[in-house]
Structure 1
Amino acid sequence: MFTIDDLADRLGGYLPADEICQVKRAFYYAEQAHDGQRRRSGEPYVTHPLAVANILANMHMDYQSLMAAMLHDVIEDTGVSKEALIKQFGNEVAELVDGVSKLTQITFEDKAVAQAENFQKMVLAMSRDIRVIIVKLADRLHNMRTLGALRPDKKRRIARETLEIYARIASRLGINTIRVELEDLSFQAIHPMRAERIQRAVVKARGNRRSMVRHVQSTLQKCLDDEGLPGTVIGRQKHLLSIYHKMRDQRKSFSELMDVFGFRIITDRVDTCYRILGAVHNLYKPVPGRFKDYIAIPKANGYQSLHTTLFGMNGIPIEVQIRTREMEAMANNGIAAHWLYKAGQTDRPIAMGSHARAREWVRGLLEMQRHAGNPLEFIEHVKNDLFPDDIYVFTPKGDIMELPHGATAVDFAYTVHTDIGNSCIACRIDRHLASLSTPLESGQTVEIITAPGARPSLGWLSFVVTAKARSAVRHYLKHQQRSDSVQLGRRLLNKSLDAFDARLETLPEGRMEALLEEMALDGEDDLFDAIGLGNKVAYSVARRLVFTDTAAAAEEPTSNTTGPIAISGADSMMISFARCCHPLPGDPIAGHMSVGKGIVVHRSDCRNIDDCRSDPEKCFPLEWSNTIEGDFPVALRLEIETRRGLVAELASLVTDAEANIERIGIEERDARLSIINLILAVKDRIHLARIIKRIRNLHHVSKITRVKN
């Protein structure tokens, strides 16, 4: 069994003696705290923190991280407090331990919420010290290695959580060794039979092609030696989950995947990497379009390497990765390489850069956490942010921005800054005007056009792909909806108070406060918000504000009617226009309160509000404002003789009249006559009348009507 002395011997290779003593002291403290506790497997509990520390030792983590690994469960599982840890080991180690500890004090209704809350706490701890997540990943890795003692259903739940969150975080931070093992262990727990069959096939295939791999490896090594290029060629193995995903997603057989040979060439300097690339391209013909330069443009997690695919002997594909020793350390240990070089007192830019990128990512997570409506929404954003297929685009100043595959100009705008995203109205891609929803491609230069009064649109959520953009748009819309509903609720309540010859400003002192207390609301804005959303009726609230006793409240108001509320096309998010009757400026209109949506505007003669027309709490008069903005949909029905080119002629006519066709449907009544159903976007009734007049002048139009319901 692995002991603390074995670990101390390993740590002697890179830590000074006094720091190793601190790690041993933390172990003995944890051993005493966990005395009598055992794991499900029957082993003493202290074997778990010792194993976690051993995983971190493989990554050459600093002594404080190793101490936190030893102590990471003492707050949660024993009677030791954070204050006791501060007294024994100092504030920094105690903060690391607290960051890794789970939220067991809170009882959650469901495990998804518990996990989301736990992850939020971890993000906050990461923002103070990124080592928290590295210790947490090592903790999860050892737990995955020892899943055998758990029930199958619990194994699968933990494995899915590991795949969805922890393996992806390891990838995002570039810790490839932990990511690969977490993925394979999760795969084995979720699909044990599939994993076993693929594992057997891999072992068999590896034995069958061992001589071929040795031959290619020696050929590549001889090529480097002949050219005088320093470098070591090693075989690269695919892991189980990667093989499974490629078989499933690319619909390839196992033999097709194993026919691709993978090799890695490790060298001394960056310029040697490019010289080796030229040598192997001279040895074997490269596959067009399969070269990627991650040295010039590193991945977001700091990964750097040259990737190329070659046609080997008999046309067998050979995948080659070329990198320096520092890049190899970064590929395997990611951000942990920052502490590896720190321990060696070597300031390596590649490791420092990875640390800076990780800090930037955590800052982005914190911003998403502030914007998210609840922990589960936050988890959804984080999942979307992890594991993207990256593209690289340029700002007008030539800076490189990394975005996930399928990202649009709106994603780009929010990546630059949230305020730019919130105020963007258009974009230029390679100096040409383009739609904000246009998917970007690598190498393009993107310029965002902003306007002071612009604001995000609900439609953006249908095409943005980055978590930051989605989170920021949702946050803005929620805030805007709240603002609009409060404003609308205030207007509705004041209109209702008019019927009682009262105003909000003239209510007796304490009347509003008493009603808010009775309704268990925190403030006036909460009341206005509820009225604006249709969750409370303005008329009833007004009556309760004016009258204090039930008998008086039952009396009729001094005037039965209030003046209509004036609306314009761009009033707020809480005013929408009914699709059944398509009201236009100039039409007589009425409002219907829809719970959760606010006011829905109908034509006054719309049949759909007949049932509530007599109820002033649900239906009330509206009028159009003097300043109306925007286009409004309207439905038209045309009876027309069937002939070639009819739709094109109709579309041209509507465009010339400065209107848009939003939808068109054609149904044949008989061989001679067709019915055309149009949805047009027009400004008002006058604009519509002008369009109808033009359509009537078309030959073969026998009838045109506006559809009311």
Structure 2
Amino acid sequence: MLNIDVEEERKVILREYRKLLKKAKPFLKDGDAKLIKKAFMTSMEAHKDMRRKSGEPYILHPIAVATIAVEEIGLGTTSIIAALLHDVVEDTDWEIEDIEKEFGPKVAPIIDGLTKISGVFEYGTSQQAENFRKMLLTLSKDVRVILIKLADRLHNMRTLESMPRNKQLKITSETIYLYAPLAHRLGLYAIKSELEDLHLKYTENEIYRDIANKINETRSARQKFIRNFIGPIESELDKLKWPYTIKGRPKSIYSIWNKMKKQNIPFDEVYDLFAIRIIVDAPVENEKAACWEVYSIVTDFYKPNPDRLRDWISTPKANGYESLHTTVMSDKGQWVEVQIRTKRMDDIAEKGYAAHWKYKDSYSNPEQTRLEQWISRVREMLESNDTNAIEFVDDFRSNLFSDEVFVFTPKGDLKTLPNKSTALDFAFDIHTEVGAKCLGAKVNQKLVPLNYELKNGDQIEILTSNKQKPSEDWLRFVVSSKAKAKIKDLLKEDKKSAALEGKEIVFRKLKQMKIDPKDEVINKIRAYFDEKTPLDLYYSIATGKHDPKLIKRFQEEVLTEKESSRKRINTRGDANSFEKELKKVKGEDMLLIGEDMDVVDYKIAGCCHPIPGDEVFGFVTVNEGIKIHRTSCPNAPELLSNHGNRVVKARWTSQQEIAFLAGLQIIGTDRVGLISDVTQIISSELKVNMQSISVDTKDGIFEGKIHLFVQSTKHLDKLIDKLKAVRGIVKVNRYD
């Protein structure tokens, strides 16, 4: 039993609460401290008997969330109160009306936005996606909901250690899928980087530890390099009329890992491990001149790479980020990224949206409110989007991480669109009617098609026709959320009228077969015809894509199946009900699945080909039982984020020798006998069966891809080590 020192806990709670008040003190107005105390006491009382998984009193969580909101995001009194109360309605008898009565009309809507929806959800959506949608819709009213949610998520990720493994995977997948991109888009770079690093820590712990250790090992060498690098320029910077500071910032662990993966290089070959940041404390009217003056000083001493100059001062990013980036060659022959910005710009880069409000009065032109322009666009997109929750979250998410392209209207107005936007995206950005009737465009006076990809600096004139109508094809090449949502809406109107006819046909057929057309039956028919939604099913029947007579065959094949096919587990229940079903099914395989770690039937997912030794999870599919995925599978974040209730625990046990398919990529310098040496190690020495081998040589460089059967990750690692030792081979990597 847990021994609790009540007095000690009380001291800890008070200490954390006082720390929060100290952080908030600079901006508290009359009566604010009293309101914060009232919120703290209310939260204390509401959560008095609750503990976190770590065993600590639950109240420490809301205090920590409020502290992050103040210290790391820069929010004020209303947000502190909302953060302290954010779980009260969800976890206790308090209602939103009670919050409004006690704390006023500003706090209540924020708490409402943070409170999860409960209940049963229709097929084809998920509780998580519905909650994401509810929270995102609050962007229309109050951005603070999302900022507090990010503070809540950051604290949960910082304290994820004590959670069970399946919960860790679910929470960390939601984080990388939605919350890190949201933090990025709202300009909270420090929070975004920490969320990404923590995601890597809980999904690829060995990789995370390895990179973290290497960063620590190279710290003193890095600091020495930075001192030598800034030495020559400091005397010139001292002559500036504005104070300045210089920081050396290492790249985040996650971005180093991404670079290693993308470029297929080891840690030692990641040269831009850090950036040097020069921050000038100049007034708003002199900011631009001050930054270019610093740039001039840096490039007097070091040669810049002209292809790597990024001017986000003249045209800030859509999330308001402003900075001047250049990459210069050091005297040690190493490329170094130098970021030049003012104190205001640095504040906005660290604290994002909240910092915008702090500096709002000093803005001299509308270009500097770009983040607000983006939020207005998001509001428009959110309010007009009536797709199902999963589709809604996907559409929203697709625009979060994209870079921007800057283009001009015929009158010279600057428009910012997501990278890879087309002429059609631009048309919808101007107006829905313009997009719906868009025939093509003139770019820089030349005629281009709808799918022309916009480039920075393009000037675009849209050509329209009343005879033009949107088509499904348009969805393949538009990238902006606004264009996608509007095209779907327009298509849906056409589709709905056709689908009504299709629905009548389906219902008539079912009536003839004396089958009640309830939701369960319609969803089985939908799955049988491989359509995503009932609307798609009715539309495809109405347009002749599927023959209605096949419904008869569906009855024979599906509805008459005996109960013995219980291996197809009902995917609409929760994880516990799946696991009860799983216990009944026994097999002779190597995976332990479910809460009680039973042996059940499963299939290996083709997207990531897990093998024994990989960390894995089970996912209950609609028609194929349980599929096993690696936790690092590219599809894992989406599956775990949107369908957490269909995820079951799974881990390997090494009782049998079963062969699993894995892929290896081998790169080296070509020589006579190289392939013979490779196949000798695989087939003879390690007795591994190959499924296929393909080899390509060009200009003396050899690249081979081998599919082979191995027993486990240990077996595969041993093989990789042996292959690396072959003369001429430079790299050996596993690939999916």
Q: TM-score range by the shorter chain?
A: 0.5 to 0.7
Are 2:385 and 1:414 aligned?
no
Q: Between Structure 1 and Structure 2, how many residues are aligned?
A: 507
Deviation, 1:185, is 1.0
**Closer/same/farther in 2, CA of residues 259 and 390 from structure 1, 3 Å limit:** closer
Are 2:301 and 1:283 aligned?
yes
Aligned residue in 1 for 2:114: 100
Aligned residue in 2 for 1:359: 375
Deviation, 1:369, is 2.6
**Quick one: which of 344, 364, 378 aligns to 2:392?**
378
- Letter paired with 2:335: P
Aligned residue in 2 for 1:475: 489
Distance in 2 (CA, whole Å) between partners of 1:348 and 1:20 is 34
Aligned residue in 2 for 1:622: none
Aligned residue in 2 for 1:492: none
Residues 426 and 448 of structure 1 are in contact (CA less than 8 Å); yes or no, is this contact kept in structure 2?
yes
Structure 1: which 5+ runs fail to align? Answer: 487-525, 542-592, 602-607, 613-709
Residues 50 and 57 of structure 2 are in contact (CA less than 8 Å); yes or no, is this contact kept in structure 1?
yes
Residues 74 and 351 of structure 2 are in contact (CA less than 8 Å); yes or no, is this contact kept in structure 1?
no
**Closer/same/farther in 2, CA of residues 87 and 348 from structure 1, 3 Å limit:** farther
Distance in 2 (CA, whole Å) between partners of 1:325 and 1:340 is 13
Aligned residue in 2 for 1:21: 34
**Closer/same/farther in 2, CA of residues 396 and 477 from structure 1, 3 Å limit:** same
**Quick one: which of 310, 316, 321 aligns to 1:298?**
316
**Quick one: which of 344, 347, 354 aligns to 1:336?**
354
**Closer/same/farther in 2, CA of residues 130 and 222 from structure 1, 3 Å limit:** same
Identity of aligned residues (%): 37
- Letter paired with 2:452: T
Residues 335 and 358 of structure 1 are in contact (CA less than 8 Å); yes or no, is this contact kept in structure 2?
no
Aligned residue in 1 for 2:506: 535
Deviation, 1:253, is 2.4
**Closer/same/farther in 2, CA of residues 60 and 418 from structure 1, 3 Å limit:** same
- Letter paired with 2:266: S
Aligned residue in 1 for 2:454: 440
- Letter paired with 2:373: R
Secondary structure in 2 aligned to 1:37?
coil
**Quick one: which of 133, 147, 155 aligns to 2:146?**
133
**Closer/same/farther in 2, CA of residues 347 and 209 from structure 1, 3 Å limit:** closer
Are 2:179 and 1:174 aligned?
no
Residues 628-707 of structure 1 correspond to what in structure 2 (within 5 A)?
none
Residues 392 and 402 of structure 1 are in contact (CA less than 8 Å); yes or no, is this contact kept in structure 2?
yes
Residues 233 and 297 of structure 2 are in contact (CA less than 8 Å); yes or no, is this contact kept in structure 1?
no
Aligned residue in 2 for 1:395: 409
- Letter paired with 2:503: A
Distance in 2 (CA, whole Å) between partners of 1:364 and 1:205 is 48
**Closer/same/farther in 2, CA of residues 245 and 83 from structure 1, 3 Å limit:** same
Moved more, 455-464 or 374-383: 455-464
**Quick one: which of 101, 113, 120 aligns to 1:87?**
101
Secondary structure in 2 aligned to 1:236?
strand
- Letter paired with 1:316: Q
Deviation, 1:251, is 2.0
**Closer/same/farther in 2, CA of residues 193 and 133 from structure 1, 3 Å limit:** same
Deviation, 1:270, is 2.5
Are 2:199 and 1:186 aligned?
yes
Aligned residue in 1 for 2:540: 596
Residues 62 and 339 of structure 1 are in contact (CA less than 8 Å); yes or no, is this contact kept in structure 2?
no
Distance in 1 (CA, whole Å) between partners of 2:308 and 2:368 is 29
Distance in 1 (CA, whole Å) between partners of 2:365 and 2:265 is 40
Distance in 2 (CA, whole Å) between partners of 1:435 and 1:142 is 48
Secondary structure in 2 aligned to 1:91?
coil
- Letter paired with 1:197: D
Deviation, 1:314, is 2.7
State the structure with bigger RCO (CA 8 A, min sep 6), 1 or 2. Answer: 2
Are 2:336 and 1:318 aligned?
yes
Distance in 1 (CA, whole Å) between partners of 2:457 and 2:317 is 15
**TM-score (norm. length: structure 1):** 0.67
Structure 2: which 5+ runs fail to align? Answer: 1-11, 513-536, 551-736
Deviations 1:671-706 (A, max 9, x none): xxxxxxxxxxxxxxxxxxxxxxxxxxxxxxxxxxxx
Residues 368 and 381 of structure 1 are in contact (CA less than 8 Å); yes or no, is this contact kept in structure 2?
no
Deviation, 1:260, is 5.2
Distance in 1 (CA, whole Å) between partners of 2:231 and 2:30 is 43
**Closer/same/farther in 2, CA of residues 18 and 339 from structure 1, 3 Å limit:** farther
- Letter paired with 1:359: I
Moved more, 408-417 or 302-311: 408-417
Distance in 2 (CA, whole Å) between partners of 1:228 and 1:63 is 37
Deviation, 1:349, is 6.7
- Letter paired with 1:126: L
Residues 425 and 479 of structure 2 are in contact (CA less than 8 Å); yes or no, is this contact kept in structure 1?
yes
Distance in 2 (CA, whole Å) between partners of 1:340 and 1:286 is 34
**Closer/same/farther in 2, CA of residues 338 and 355 from structure 1, 3 Å limit:** same
**Closer/same/farther in 2, CA of residues 87 and 111 from structure 1, 3 Å limit:** farther
Are 2:72 and 1:77 aligned?
no
**Closer/same/farther in 2, CA of residues 348 and 206 from structure 1, 3 Å limit:** farther
**TM-score (norm. length: structure 2):** 0.65
**Closer/same/farther in 2, CA of residues 60 and 467 from structure 1, 3 Å limit:** closer
Secondary structure in 1 aligned to 2:27?
coil
Secondary structure in 1 aligned to 2:490?
helix
Distance in 2 (CA, whole Å) between partners of 1:102 and 1:339 is 28
Residues 426-505 of structure 1 correspond to what in structure 2 (within 5 A)?
426-483=440-497, 485=498
Residues 260 and 319 of structure 1 are in contact (CA less than 8 Å); yes or no, is this contact kept in structure 2?
no
Moved more, 122-131 or 22-31: 122-131
Residues 248 and 275 of structure 2 are in contact (CA less than 8 Å); yes or no, is this contact kept in structure 1?
yes
**Quick one: which of 118, 125, 130 aligns to 1:117?**
130
**Closer/same/farther in 2, CA of residues 110 and 172 from structure 1, 3 Å limit:** farther
Distance in 2 (CA, whole Å) between partners of 1:151 and 1:410 is 47
Residues 407 and 414 of structure 2 are in contact (CA less than 8 Å); yes or no, is this contact kept in structure 1?
yes
Distance in 2 (CA, whole Å) between partners of 1:212 and 1:25 is 52
- Letter paired with 1:113: S
Secondary structure in 2 aligned to 1:388?
coil
**Closer/same/farther in 2, CA of residues 277 and 208 from structure 1, 3 Å limit:** closer
Deviation, 1:365, is 3.7
Aligned residue in 2 for 1:500: none
**Quick one: which of 135, 158, 163 aligns to 1:150?**
163
**Closer/same/farther in 2, CA of residues 22 and 599 from structure 1, 3 Å limit:** closer
Secondary structure in 2 aligned to 1:60?
coil
Distance in 1 (CA, whole Å) between partners of 2:423 and 2:363 is 37
Aligned residue in 2 for 1:576: none
- Letter paired with 1:56: A
Distance in 2 (CA, whole Å) between partners of 1:402 and 1:248 is 30
- Letter paired with 1:360: S
Distance in 1 (CA, whole Å) between partners of 2:239 and 2:479 is 48
Residues 163 and 183 of structure 1 are in contact (CA less than 8 Å); yes or no, is this contact kept in structure 2?
yes
Deviations 1:432-477 (A, max 9, x none): 0011112111111111111123111222122222222222222212
Deviations 1:518-540 (A, max 9, x none): xxxxxxxx4x4535xx53569x9
Secondary structure in 2 aligned to 1:314?
coil
Distance in 1 (CA, whole Å) between partners of 2:351 and 2:538 is 55
- Letter paired with 2:208: A
Secondary structure in 1 aligned to 2:45?
helix
Residues 262 and 318 of structure 1 are in contact (CA less than 8 Å); yes or no, is this contact kept in structure 2?
yes
Residues 427 and 448 of structure 1 are in contact (CA less than 8 Å); yes or no, is this contact kept in structure 2?
yes
Aligned residue in 2 for 1:54: 67
Aligned residue in 2 for 1:243: 256
- Letter paired with 1:323: R
Residues 338 and 352 of structure 1 are in contact (CA less than 8 Å); yes or no, is this contact kept in structure 2?
no
- Letter paired with 1:422: A
Aligned residue in 1 for 2:555: none
